């Protein structure tokens, strides 16, 4: 499969008479863009705002972030199952507004959302303080059931991202990224002596607004499967989850998955990257056993020598993480896991809710309970009082002057378990 990402760089964003990209400035026709979203009868009110890097702006609470993209060749649109007829992705040409994002914001569901600061001490903890953002603030009609509101808000972000890319698709790309990898048989024949590596992308699939979608299907109703890495980079996975903000994999994270990108860089040189297994995180023991056995067996049948495992969320999913590692290791398949930790505000508590001795290759994405003080912002997009209900916030987090004292877990993507953050460590 060969996928070309034609990246048109966005370095500024403004309202304009016509939605277009000119000299790296994204112009957005506000009224037309609102119409794309406001057609949904579940919304009582829809507003659009712009948020730029370095501005004194706070966006709260955030549901999802989407990178504007559309197919030019090899398909009809993007996000299959949502914005396109059902068909495979991962081949052809996809046009990307690189440096732009659509952010969805609204009073959707209590504690498991987060905030984005475009400047100040919280801004380095997420990638979206560095993107030029169109923010959807959509309020639901009275008494709308939360699942219906979540679905409408999720689809609004996808639709607006496709609209923006579609209006700009005649723009010449600033650069082109090529991802070209054959079938497993072809790659095994090319690189018979390289270790075969696969990737388990654990995803929140617990229901009750904790959902992830693969080709439009709610993953909690399917079994683990194998996909080509190009499919991940081309929009096969969509976030619909309300997991704690710090380790939420937004739709933006999926199409820019750094684990896929890093394994691709090493493919044919150090490793043979045989594929991605998007997999579940069940809430019940029987589901955890079934899923983790299927994951390990898939890796074994593929002849994998090693597996990289990323978690999404913490607490209950820590058991899935341990079981995935143990079952693979018991079959002689080496594992490296990536997770954040909930180690208490002083970092002295046990980082995970579960443990197994076989899980001895561990990469930490940071401590979600670390505290941070963030100053007041000149502009608030959304609902600042929501911090009282967000995981990592409290009733006294929002001060009278607009500043906040919160845990890192209230910041979108701060300890992202795909490694998509700037958190690091050093030996002392």
Whether 105 is catalytic is: no
Residue 79, classed as helix, strand or coil, is coil
Q: How far apart are CA 114 and CA 387, in angstroms?
A: 8
Cis peptide before 185 (omega within 30 of 0): no
Q: How many CA atoms lie within 13 A of 427 on its CB side?
A: 0
Q: Are strands 217-218 and 272-279 parallel, antiparallel or unpaired?
A: unpaired
Q: Does residue 387 sit in helix, strand or coil? A: helix
DSSP string, 279-344: E---SSHHHHHHHHHHHHHHHHHTT-SEEEEE--SSSTHHHHHHHHHHHHHHTT-EEEEEEEE---
**Phi and psi, residue 264, nearest 5°:** -60, -40
Q: Can you name the residues that pair with 103 across neighbouring β-strands?
A: 65, 135
Rounded Cα–Cα distance for residues 239 and 232 (Å):
12
Torsion region of 419: left, alpha or beta (phi above 0 gives left; psi -120 to 50 gives alpha): left
Candidate list 168, 201, 242, 246, residue with the active-site label: 242
CA–CA distances in Å: residue 261 to residues 9, 265, 291, 353: 19, 6, 25, 29
Q: What is the set of active-site residues?
A: 242
């Amino acid at each position: 499969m060969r996928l070309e990402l034609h990246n048109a760089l966005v370095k500024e964003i403004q309202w304009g008479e016509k939605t277009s990209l000119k000299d790296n400035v994204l112009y957005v026709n506000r009224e037309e863009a609102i119409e794309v979203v406001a057609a949904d009868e579940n919304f009582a009110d829809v507003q659009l705002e712009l948020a730029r890097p370095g501005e004194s702006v706070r966006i709260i609470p955030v549901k999802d972030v989407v990178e504007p993209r559309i197919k030019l060749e090899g398909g009809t649109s993007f996000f299959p199952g949502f914005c396109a007829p059902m068909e495979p992705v991962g081949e052809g040409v996809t046009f990307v507004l690189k440096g732009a994002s659509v952010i969805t914001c609204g009073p959707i569901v209590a504690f498991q959302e987060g905030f984005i600061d475009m400047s100040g001490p919280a801004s380095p903890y997420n990638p979206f303080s560095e993107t030029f953002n169109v923010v959807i603030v959509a309020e639901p009609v009275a008494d709308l059931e939360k699942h219906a509101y979540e679905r409408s808000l999720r689809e609004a972000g996808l639709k607006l991202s496709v609209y923006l890319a579609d209006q700009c698709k005649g723009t010449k790309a600033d650069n082109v990224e090529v991802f070209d990898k054959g079938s497993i048989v072809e790659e095994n024949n090319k690189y018979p002596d390289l270790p075969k590596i696969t990737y388990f992308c654990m995803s929140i699939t617990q229901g009750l607004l904790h959902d992830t979608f693969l080709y439009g299907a709610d993953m909690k109703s399917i079994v683990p499967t194998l996909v080509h890495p190009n499919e991940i980079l081309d929009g096969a996975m969509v976030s619909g989850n309300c997991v704690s903000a710090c380790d939420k994999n937004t739709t933006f994270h999926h199409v820019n998955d750094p684990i896929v990108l890093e394994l691709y860089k090493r493919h044919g040189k150090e490793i043979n990257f045989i594929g991605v297994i998007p997999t579940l995180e069940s809430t019940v023991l029987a589901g955890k056993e079934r899923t983790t056995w299927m994951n390990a067996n898939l890796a074994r049948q593929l002849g994998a020598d090693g597996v990289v495992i990323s978690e999404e969320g913490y607490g209950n999913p820590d058991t899935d993480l341990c079981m995935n590692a143990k079952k693979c290791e018991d079959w002689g398949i080496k594992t490296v896991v990536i997770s954040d930790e909930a180690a208490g505000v002083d970092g002295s508590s046990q980082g995970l809710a579960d443990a197994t001795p076989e899980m001895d290759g561990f990469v930490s994405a940071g401590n979600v309970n670390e505290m941070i003080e963030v100053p007041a912002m000149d502009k608030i997009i959304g609902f600042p009082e929501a911090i009282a209900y967000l995981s990592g916030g409290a009733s006294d987090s929002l001060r009278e002057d607009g500043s906040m004292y919160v845990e890192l877990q209230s910041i979108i993507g701060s300890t992202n378990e795909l490694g998509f953050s700037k958190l690091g460590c050093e030996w002392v």
